[in-house]
Amino acid sequence: MWISEYWEGMKLGEDMYFNIRAKKQQFREMDNLSVCKSGYVGTIYNANNSQSVSLMDRLVPWIYMYITMWYRLELAIAANQGKIALIDLSLVPDGWEVEKWMYYAQSMKFGFVDSFNEGKKGQSTGKLAGNISTQNKVLDMETGNHIQQHVQLLDFVESKVQSLSGVTRQRLGSISSSELVGTTERAVQQSSHITEKWYDIHNQTKVRVLQTLLDVAKDVYRGKTKKFQFVADDLATTTFNLMGEFGYQEYGIFVSNATQDLQALEALKSLTQAALQNDKMSISDVISVYNSSSIADIKNKIKSSEAESLQREQQAQQQQAQMQQQQLQVQQQSEQQKMQFDLEKENREDARNTEDNNTKLEIARMNMEKKTE
């Protein structure tokens, strides 16, 4: 039974090795001593029992072709001389230099010709110089088609690099006037989906590098008293000591991904609009959330706002129940007063009827006595 550990050494030449020893930094875990990390961080792309191929490996041949075609394009541009006029020196007037003839041709736009310049010598006396025609001859050194072909090849290589890498021209900002908004957004979104895996793998590699850097720093300060101080999200000053011989991961301390944190931060901030509309947060809470850059701080503020909103709802429900109970009591009192009023009214009507009957009887009795008398 043994504990796993990493060794290191130096190799010189084919079979010479020096300083072979166990590494000073052995990054282990608390609950599993067989786990040991080397401290070297890297990522191999597409290594499925074959040679690893990264994104750059796919683009290197096309980049070589692009550099080659660009060099040939530079040579073609340098060799492009355009059209060159052929002028017979026998037509230059006698006693003139070529520079003088070129000066008048460029400044005054006149080309002076002496047709009998060579006809003044020997047997050619009186004859036209060389019996040349009056038509000018031109040497065509134009290589525009050759240059255009190279430019088209460069565009083709660029499009292939874009298609292989997943970065389209719409994502680079090259949008034509005939493209629609929905088409452009779909192209940019699809390009983001294609390249997301490359960015994600790269971000994971950077996170592991930073995590190892923390472990190395912790190992360097082993046995030393090192105090750190920082300001928490609630503006409280915290001081802690660097201690222990295990990695930060064992204590629940991790390096976060900035991209994911930014996405979560934007998502939490966007949720504050719905919370404000549904009366889950107040305007002051929303302002404090937008001024914060910590996910934990925003999470705590949203929780506290939800608790306050729930408490307000409970208080409102209690107040509403009390109001309903008061209204019910008032209604019951009103009904009782109405019943009492009706009862008193009936009693008054009964008494009035009794009095009327007694009055009528008294009048009848008086009438009977009068008739008897």
User: What pLDDT is recorded for position 234?
Assistant: 66
The total number of structural domains in the chain stands at 4
Q: Residue 5: inside a domain, yes or no?
A: yes
296 Cβ contact list (under 8 Å, min separation 6): 233
Q: Which of 255, 275, 294 is the last residue of a domain?
A: 255
- Among 4-8, 60-64, 238-242, the range scoring the smallest mean pLDDT is 238-242
Q: Residue 155: inside a domain, yes or no?
A: no
Burial 20-51 (b: 16+ CB within 10 A, else e): eeeeebbbbeeeeeeebbebeeeeeeeeeeee
Q: Say yes or no: 270 and 250 in one domain.
A: no
Identity of the amino acid at 195: T
Q: Determine how β-strand 16-22 pairs with β-strand 7-12.
A: antiparallel
Q: Residue 90: inside a domain, yes or no?
A: yes
For 176-208, the three-class secondary structure string (H helix, E strand, C coil) is: CCCCCHHHHHHHHHHHHHHHHHHHHHHHHHHHH
User: What pLDDT is recorded for position 21?
Assistant: 93
67 or 27: which carries more pLDDT confidence?
67
DSSP letter for 50, please: S
CA distances to 25, 113, 114 from 94, in Å: 94, 10, 7
- Among 58-62, 129-133, 198-202, the range scoring the smallest mean pLDDT is 129-133
User: What pLDDT is recorded for position 8?
Assistant: 92
Average pLDDT score over residue span 241-251: 55
The band of 294, judged by pLDDT with boundaries at 50, 70 and 90, is low
Residue-wise pLDDT for 148-157, tens only, equals 999 999 999 9
Average pLDDT score over residue span 334-344: 86
Q: Determine how β-strand 137-141 pairs with β-strand 82-86.
A: antiparallel
Identity of the amino acid at 158: E
The band of 252, judged by pLDDT with boundaries at 50, 70 and 90, is low
Q: Say yes or no: 231 and 268 in one domain.
A: no
User: What pLDDT is recorded for position 256?
Assistant: 62
Q: Say yes or no: 234 and 281 in one domain.
A: no
Displacement of CA 343 from its chain's centroid (Å):
80
Q: Say yes or no: 7 and 85 in one domain.
A: no
Q: Residue 211 CB: number of other CB atoms within 10 A?
A: 19
Average pLDDT score over residue span 80-90: 75
- Among 195-199, 225-229, 365-369, the range scoring the smallest mean pLDDT is 225-229
Are 168 and 162 in contact by the 8 Å Cβ rule? The answer is: yes
Of 298, 214, 209, 210, give the one whose Cα is nearest residue 262.
Answer: 298
Identity of the amino acid at 171: R
Identity of the amino acid at 346: E
Mean pLDDT score across all residues of the chain:
77
Q: Residue 367: inside a domain, yes or no?
A: no
Q: Residue 116: inside a domain, yes or no?
A: yes
Distance CA 26, CA 213 (A): 13
Q: Say yes or no: 246 and 270 in one domain.
A: no
Average pLDDT score over residue span 229-257: 62
- Per DSSP, the chain holds a count of helices (H) and strands (E) of 7, 8
Q: Say yes or no: 277 and 322 in one domain.
A: yes
Are 84 and 141 in contact by the 8 Å Cβ rule? The answer is: yes
User: What pLDDT is recorded for position 220?
Assistant: 75
User: What pLDDT is recorded for position 69?
Assistant: 93
User: What pLDDT is recorded for position 239?
Assistant: 78
Residue-wise pLDDT for 102-114, tens only, equals 888 888 877 777 7
Q: Say yes or no: 25 and 92 in one domain.
A: no
% the chain with pLDDT above 90: 10
Q: Residue 344: inside a domain, yes or no?
A: no
33 Cβ contact list (under 8 Å, min separation 6): 3, 4
The band of 242, judged by pLDDT with boundaries at 50, 70 and 90, is low
Stated length of the chain:
373
CA distances to 86, 218, 273, 285, 301 from 306, in Å: 90, 39, 14, 11, 8
Q: Residue 348: inside a domain, yes or no?
A: no
Range of the domain at 262: 258-336
Q: Is 131 left (phi over 0), alpha (psi -120 to 50) or beta?
A: left
